[in-house]
């Protein structure tokens, strides 16, 4: 029997791990990527090197695969529109449309009555001064193309609004800085038949606005867990999303706020590869290829640590052990703040992480 081919738009580390997962469950992959050298190149069964705006290449690629997914949310909508058979695209266009622009995403969450951080759209320097008078501290964020804290900076009451406005290149919003107790993310999935399942919730620790650690399990009350899951279920169902989706949250003393949605597999779910019966990557591939979702079960407690920038040099000569699993992303250049790999440490399943 011929194996179904999953087309993947994007060839980064998430694509690399999607390719590995596909292989594990008997699927082939075809990656479409604009760069000559990309992390998933040696892992993908087939690949096409082309621009996302190259209509002919995108159409040819779409005709050669059974399903199409993406590993990052900044695929131009135009690319999706080139694809004639919309049924092939999983998750669908809506998940991209509502998450490519922070403002659109926030309006979507507000419509669902899901709590988020107070924010303002920046149209002029007055919007900046009104944020300064309303919020103790705030963060300016680009509406589009931001990731790993890029396109963000802190704003304090004493900053000069005109100077700040001059500094902003893209359309931006300003958000109240939330004094959260901790951050978590929910990795949830939905299959073609609308079955939902989610992974154990991981706690995220960021350094310099970049995810550094995720660990699970940790102390979370039943009410907090239910609230986190309910919001995540509302989001994935409303988007008619097929595949994995991640919701990042801020948890304060008495509130839970959504920070943002990633319509794809997520860095904070990498530990699932080694610590669960099904990884986020396999779950995504199962859903995209029309299979029945699995119920994730924890085999081990786990902590994932991102390897960022030149930290990578410490890891080249290290080997996996029974409880330490190293993933290097084969990126062609080491850059400050760039995610170069990650490592997952496994522990006895009864271990609960403390602060």
Binding site for ligand ATP (CB under 6 A): 117, 139, 141, 146-150, 152, 175-178, 183, 206, 209, 211, 248, 259-260
Indicate the residue among 5 and 98 with the shorter CB distance to ligand ATP.
Answer: 98
Decide which of ligand ATP, Mg ion, none touches 309; Cβ closer than 5 to 8 Å per partner kind.
none
Tokens of 341: 């790999």
* Per-residue burial over 184-199, b = 16 or more CB atoms within 10 Å of its CB, e = otherwise: bbbbbbbbeeeeebbb
Asked, as a colleague might, if the bond just before 91 is cis with ω within 30 of 0, I would say yes
Give the residue from 252, 137, 262, 151 showing the smallest Cα distance to 209.
Answer: 151
Decide which of ligand ATP, Mg ion, none touches 183; Cβ closer than 5 to 8 Å per partner kind.
ligand ATP
Least separation in angstroms between CB 138 and ligand ATP: 7
Indicate the residue among 29 and 272 with the shorter CB distance to Mg ion.
Answer: 272
Decide which of Mg ion, ligand ATP, none touches 159; Cβ closer than 5 to 8 Å per partner kind.
none
Put residue 40 in one of left, alpha, beta given phi > 0 → left and psi -120 to 50 → alpha: alpha
H or E stretch covering 230:
helix 222-238
What is the distance between the alpha carbons of residues 121 and 3, in angstroms, rounded to a whole number? 48
Indicate the residue among 188 and 346 with the shorter CB distance to ligand ATP.
Answer: 188
Which of the ranges 94-102, 252-260, 271-279, 287-295 carries the binding residues for Mg ion, by CB under 5 A? Answer: 252-260
Decide which of Mg ion, ligand ATP, none touches 34; Cβ closer than 5 to 8 Å per partner kind.
none
Indicate the residue among 93 and 209 with the shorter CB distance to ligand ATP.
Answer: 209
Least separation in angstroms between CB 191 and ligand ATP: 25
Residues 6+ apart with CB under 8 A from 163: none
What is the distance between the alpha carbons of residues 225 and 178, in angstroms, rounded to a whole number? 20
Least separation in angstroms between CB 172 and ligand ATP: 12
């Amino acid at each position: 029997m011929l194996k179904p081919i999953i087309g993947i738009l994007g060839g980064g580390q998430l694509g690399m791990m999607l390719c590995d997962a596909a292989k594990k469950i008997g699927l082939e992959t075809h990656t479409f990527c604009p760069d000559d050298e990309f992390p998933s190149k040696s892992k993908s069964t087939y690949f096409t090197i082309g621009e996302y705006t190259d209509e002919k290449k995108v159409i040819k690629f779409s005709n050669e695969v059974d399903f199409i997914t993406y590993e990052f949310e900044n695929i131009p909508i135009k690319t999706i529109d080139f694809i004639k058979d919309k049924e092939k695209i999983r998750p669908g266009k809506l998940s991209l449309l509502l998450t490519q622009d922070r403002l659109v995403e926030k309006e979507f969450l507000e419509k669902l009555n899901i709590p988020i951080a107070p924010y303002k759209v920046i149209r002029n320097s007055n919007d900046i001064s009104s944020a300064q008078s309303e919020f103790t501290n705030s963060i300016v964020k680009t509406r589009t193309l931001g990731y790993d804290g890029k396109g963000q900076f802190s704003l304090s009451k004493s900053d000069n609004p005109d100077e700040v406005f001059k500094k902003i290149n893209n359309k931006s919003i300003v958000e109240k800085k939330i004094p959260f107790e901790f951050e978590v993310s929910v990795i949830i999935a939905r299959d073609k038949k609308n079955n939902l399942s989610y992974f154990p919730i991981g706690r995220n620790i960021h350094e310099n606005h970049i995810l550094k650690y995720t660990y699970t399990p940790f102390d979370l009350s039943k009410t907090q867990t239910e609230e986190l899951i309910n919001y995540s279920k509302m989001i994935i169902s409303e988007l008619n999303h097929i595949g994995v989706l991640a919701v990042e949250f801020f948890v304060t003393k008495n509130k839970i706020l959504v920070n943002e949605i990633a319509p794809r597999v997520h860095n904070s779910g990498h530990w699932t590869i080694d610590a669960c019966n099904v990884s986020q990557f396999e779950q995504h591939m199962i859903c995209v290829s029309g299979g029945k979702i699995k119920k994730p079960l924890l085999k081990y407690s786990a902590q994932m640590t991102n390897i960022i920038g030149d930290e990578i040099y410490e890891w080249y000569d290290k080997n996996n052990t029974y409880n330490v699993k190293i993933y290097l992303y084969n990126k062609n250049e080491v850059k400050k703040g760039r995610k170069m790999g990650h490592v997952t440490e496994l522990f006895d399943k009864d271990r609960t992480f403390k602060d």
